[in-house]
Structure 1
Amino acid sequence: MYRFLLTPRWWGINVFVLLAIPFCVFMGSWQLSRFEGRVQEHRASTAQAASDGREQARPLARMLPVDKSTSGRRVTASGRYGRQLLVPGRELDGRAGFYVLTLLRTDSGRALPVVRGWLPGEADPAKAPAPPAGEVTVTGALQASETPGDNGVPAQGGLPAGQTGVISSASLVNLVPYRLYDAWVTLDRADTGMKAVPATAPDGTGLDLKAFQNLGYTGEWFVFAGFVVFMWFRLLRREVEFQRDAALGLVPEPHQEPEQDDASAPTTV
């Protein structure tokens, strides 16, 4: 009854099933490992953020360039404050407001963007306190240049003069006459009248939408594997039923052609 499994058609079906199931299981396991990796990165970044606030601040030059291992670490830099900009559309503790961003001109000849604090309401230069004069030393959390649309960074454009929507060297280079570091710092303690802006985790280390997409893809690949097995058994069952009916004469054998009636048989003259 199961001799049909040796036919070319079923050889093709069986080979497809034997290849598809391991492939689906492999892809599902790979997506699951990606999700578990993101969970581990999230735990590591959370633990690092907790320890960063207690560690000794290091010179800025030693912590560049910014990557996952240095983002959020405490750094120190010295210089004189220069141009000041406002960063609108930033929330803190559930309230809308803006950052006060001041460029620190260092002895290296480059300027470091420093978020001195956050203020509620609409961005207004009159609300932002002037930066301290003279030589200053700042201490805060090192951050990578922002990308519009990531970590809640708005992608708005057309802002008034003296404002920027993104804290990055690529956007600031057109607004200030300084050479810039490809990084920025948020102060541990905000200047008078403002709230300190907490550091954010680097991109790709949090349990964001991409992480849960990996988890969703894991389920999809395992469902595909189960669907392949289900369809194989269903096709097998249909074929067995067909062979059984054919053996009982309920349906014609696949290789047999229906017999012709005598009335329809050709006649010779």
Structure 2
Amino acid sequence: MYRFLLTPRWWGINVFVVLAIPFCVFMGSWQLSRFEERMDTHRSATEEPTTDRTGAARPLTELLPVDKETSGERATATGEYAEQFLVPDRPLDERPGAYVLTLLRTDDGRALPVVRGWLPGTADTARAPAPPAGEVTVTGALQASETPGSNGVPALSGLPAGQTGAISSASLVNLVPYEIFDAWITLDEGDSGMRAVPATAAADTGLDLKAFQNLGYTGEWFVFAGFVVFMWFRLLRREVESVRDARMGLGDAPEGDPGEQRREPAPAATR
């Protein structure tokens, strides 16, 4: 009854099933490992401190560009303070306030945004302490440029002079006539009596849309593997039923299986 499994058509079906199932299982396992990796990264970012305030600081240029590995690392840079801005709508410990952001002009002409501290209440440039004059060396936690509207950064527009909605080179380059580093630092200790702004976790730390996409793809690949098995058994059952019907004289045997073909009755003898 099962000799049809040796026909060329079923050889092709069987080879496809034997290759498809391991492939689907492998892809599902890989997507699951990606999800677990993102979860571990997120767990590490939330359970461990975002920066080691006691570790040795490294020169800024050694930590650029900022990624998940260097975000939160202590960086140091030397230069002179220039333009200063307030970054409004930045609460700290559930209290409203603003960041005091000052640009540090380095020797190569570029400027590094430095968050010198946090001021409570409504953003008011008159209340922001003036930066120190002359050459200074700053040390703090390195952060990647912000993107308005994501990662908790408010998408502010129409701000008064002396304020900026995001700490990013894209926003600041429109306010000053020189190049801005695509990064910023928050000082270890608040300047001029201000509170220090804690470093934030790096963006894309795992628990985001991509993580749940990996989990969804995991389920899809395992469903595909189950579907292949289901269809193989369904085709097998139909083929077996076709062979059984042919033996009972209810139909033709499957093509390519002459041993199971129904014999035609001999014609009646004529006188």
Give how far 1:225 is off. Answer: 0.9
**For residues 229 and 131 of structure 1, what CA distance do their matches in structure 2 show?**
72
Deviations 1:227-251 (A, max 9, x none): 21122112222332333234334x3
Q: TM-score, normalised by structure 1?
A: 0.78
Which residue is 1:263 aligned to? none
5+ residue gaps, structure 2: 256-260, 265-271
* Structure 1 letter corresponding to 2:116: R
Q: After TM superposition, give the deviation of residue 95 of structure 1 in Å.
A: 5.0
CA distance in 2, matches of 1:140, 1:205: 21
- In the TM superposition, residue 48 of structure 1 has moved relative to its aligned partner by 7.3
The answer to whether residue 169 in structure 2 is matched with residue 178 in structure 1 is: no
Gapped runs of 5+ residues in structure 1? Answer: 260-269
Rounded to whole Å, the distance in 2 between the matches of 1:111 and 1:252 is 85
Report the CA distance shift for 1:162/1:132 in structure 2 as closer, same or farther (over 3 A).
closer
Equivalent runs, 1:157-196 vs 2, <5 Å: 157-191=157-191, 194-196=194-196
8 A contact 1:89–1:96 mirrored in 2:
yes
Mapped partners of 1:194, 1:206: distance in 2: 33
How has the CA–CA distance of structure 1 residues 248 and 118 changed in structure 2, closer, same or farther, with 3 Å as cutoff?
A: farther
By how many angstroms is 1:194 displaced?
4.4
Q: Which residue of 2 aligns with 1:53?
A: 53
Cα contact 1:76–1:140 (8 A) shared by 2 = yes
**2:68 corresponds to which residue?**
68
RMSD over aligned CA atoms reads 3.2
Q: Is the 8 A contact 1:101 1:115 kept in 2?
A: yes
Please state if 1:130 is matched with 2:105: no
Q: 1:90 to 1:223 in 2, by over 3 A?
A: farther
Distance 1:98 1:235 in 2: 68
Please give the per-residue CA displacement for 1:98-153, whole angstroms capped at 9, x wherever unaligned.
33211122344322101123345554434x42233313432210112223444223
* Structure 1 residues 97 and 50: alpha-carbon distance in aligned structure 2, compared to 1, 3 A threshold: closer
Amino acid at match of 2:98: F
1:79 aligns with 2:83: no
Over the matched positions of the two proteins, sequence identity in percent amounts to 74
Structure 1 residue 184, shift from structure 2 partner: 0.5
User: Which structure 2 residues correspond to residues 81-100 of structure 1 after superposition, within 5 A?
Assistant: 81-94=81-94, 97-100=97-100
In structure 1, what is the Cα distance between the partners aligned to 2:14 and 2:158?
61
Cα 1:233/1:75, change in 2 over 3 Å? same
Moved more, 220-229 or 71-80: 71-80
Q: What is the TM-score when the length of structure 2 is the normalising length? A: 0.77
Superposed, 1:221-236 pairs within 5 Å as 221-236=221-236
Is the Cα contact below 8 Å between 1:81 and 1:131 reproduced in 2? no
Task: Tell me the distance in 2 between the aligned counterparts of 1:186 and 1:206.
Answer: 23
Partner of 1:142: 142
Structure 1 SS opposite 2:88: strand
1:169 to partner: Cα distance: 1.7
Distance 2:128 2:5 in 1: 82
Q: Is the 8 Å Cα contact of residues 143 and 183 (structure 1) preserved in structure 2?
A: yes
Once the 2 structures are TM-superposed, how far is the Cα of residue 89 of structure 1 from its aligned partner? 4.1
